[in-house]
Amino acid sequence: MTEHQHETRVAYDGIVEVYASMFADRLETQPIARNMIRTFAELVRGTGNPRVADVGCGPGHLTAMLHDLGLEAFGVDLSPAMVDHARRTQPALRFDEARMEALPVEDGTLGGVLAHYSMIHTPPEELPALLAEQVRVLAPGGLLLVSFYGTEGTEPVRFDHKVTPAYSWPADRFAELLAGAGLVTFARLLHDPASERGFLDAHLLARLP
């Protein structure tokens, strides 16, 4: 485990209850993000392979949403305290403590991966390896929906996230990383600022050929 991964795990371990209460119903006020996830779920169902990993699942609220949308969803998170919370609140679902760079999943077995603002703490130089791991677990035709803070310019921007340092990305640069990992981005959406910093909410939907 790298230093930044350790720091991220400790930071999220310390705010589980507050984080869970803040984000449990967040998508109720974010119809665009909510419908991107619904679109992702519909497309995954269309592949005939409903197995989906919610990577960086936190308290498990989106894992439960994917389950309710007809997918065989399970969650993975770096924080043991987040995983414990998810298991308590969603006892019918599977949650594993694991790094996104080392998923406890067989090669080529998933119909989809959801990464909802869970890659934002990964330093830019480490992101290609993280994306390669998502590709490893996807079956041909599998889908990845990644959401992150979008920014203008040509380079990612490091900023002081409320929990632990994070990065915002130009959507084009992130799409280039997806292409480098072997994914084809076929839909992208950037919309209203996600925070007082002025970052956009960015969503990229990609497919493994």
The CATH code of domain 3-207 reads 3.40.50.150
| Residues 74-107: tens digit of each pLDDT | 999 999 999 999 999 999 999 999 999 999 999 9
**Range in 10-14, 58-62, 90-94 the model is least confident about:** 10-14
Give the list of residues 6+ apart from residue 68 with CB closer than 8 angstroms, or none: none
Distance CA 119, CA 168 (A): 10
| Residues 138-169: tens digit of each pLDDT | 999 999 999 999 998 899 999 988 888 899 99
- Res. 194: pLDDT tops 60: no
